[in-house]
């Protein structure tokens, strides 16, 4: 396993797939490096590619607002990153080979953070982290314990802009994550 600096440098200089040639910035991850919660999304969007930070666009702002309402803060309570570290053109879903190229970096991030809770945001993160047989609409909100981690998936916040009926379920999932976090920290 690499240290943070080595891992960042590997991601920065990576050209395992074509996404590296199109990016403005590699979007590594951000937050508390020893957080108990890790959020994993799909890939950077245009705002993230521009700023080099994960979840800073419209969907990220919605997520941050919801988590802040639950008294969860990026710099203190969680670490956030994506399966892919570079933006796919037009914000398309990453191709299988792109995601598989980046997965070793994500695994190293998980190993370095050592979270107790891993939250998959959307179908792509669910597929590559929890299993390709799972479906976001059917399996979201369900806790799975695996290899010492509590895993849960919820909708990607961008999906809430396309389908407002998902907002209540998304909020329920975030409250469940907060409850599990409090339970882990002994704050029942």
Buried b (16+ CB within 10 A) or exposed e, 137-165: eebbbeeeeeeeebbbbbbbbbbbeeeee
> 4-184: which CATH topology?
Uracil-DNA Glycosylase, subunit E (3.40.470)
Phi, psi of 127 (to 5 degrees): -60, -50
Helices (H), the chain: 4-13, 19-22, 46-51, 58-69, 96-113, 123-125, 136-139, 159-162, 167-184
What residues are paired with 119 via a beta bridge?
39, 152
Question: Given this model, what pLDDT does residue 5 score?
Answer: 96
**pLDDT tens-digit profile of 59-86?**
999 999 999 999 999 999 999 999 999 9
pLDDT of residue 150: 98
Reading the chain (188 residues) residue by residue, the pLDDT tens digits are 569 999 999 999 999 999 999 999 999 999 999 999 999 999 999 999 999 999 999 999 999 999 999 999 999 999 999 999 999 999 999 999 999 999 999 999 999 999 999 999 999 999 999 999 999 999 999 999 999 999 999 999 999 999 999 999 999 999 999 999 999 998 64
Residue 68: per-residue pLDDT: 98
Q: Which helix (H) or strand (E) holds 146?
A: strand 144-146
Structure tokens at 75: 């710099």
Q: Per the structure block, which two tokens stand in for 132? A: 């390709």
| Rounded-to-10 torsion of CA 133, 115, 145, 155 | -40
pLDDT of residue 2: 63
Read off the DSSP letter of residue 92. P
Alpha-carbon gap, residue 128 to 93, rounded angstroms: 13
Eight-class DSSP state of 90: G
């Amino acid at each position: 396993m690499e240290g943070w600096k080595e891992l960042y440098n590997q991601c920065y200089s990576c050209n395992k797939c074509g996404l590296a040639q199109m990016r403005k910035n590699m979007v590594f991850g951000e937050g508390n490096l020893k957080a108990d919660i890790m959020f994993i999304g799909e890939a950077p969007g245009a705002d993230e590619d521009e700023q080099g930070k994960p979840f800073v666009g419209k969907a990220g702002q919605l997520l941050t607002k919801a988590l802040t309402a639950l008294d969860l803060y990026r710099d203190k309570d969680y670490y956030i990153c994506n399966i892919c570290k570079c933006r796919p053109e037009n914000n398309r879903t990453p191709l299988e080979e792109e995601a598989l190229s980046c997965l070793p970096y994500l695994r190293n991030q998980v190993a370095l953070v050592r979270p107790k809770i891993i939250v998959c945001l959307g179908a792509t993160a669910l597929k590559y982290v929890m299993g390709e047989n799972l479906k976001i609409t059917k399996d979201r909100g369900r806790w799975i314990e695996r290899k010492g981690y509590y895993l849960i998936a919820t909708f990607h916040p961008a999906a809430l802009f396309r389908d407002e009926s998902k907002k209540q379920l998304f909020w329920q999932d975030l409250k469940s994550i907060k409850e599990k976090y409090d339970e882990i920290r002994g704050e029942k």
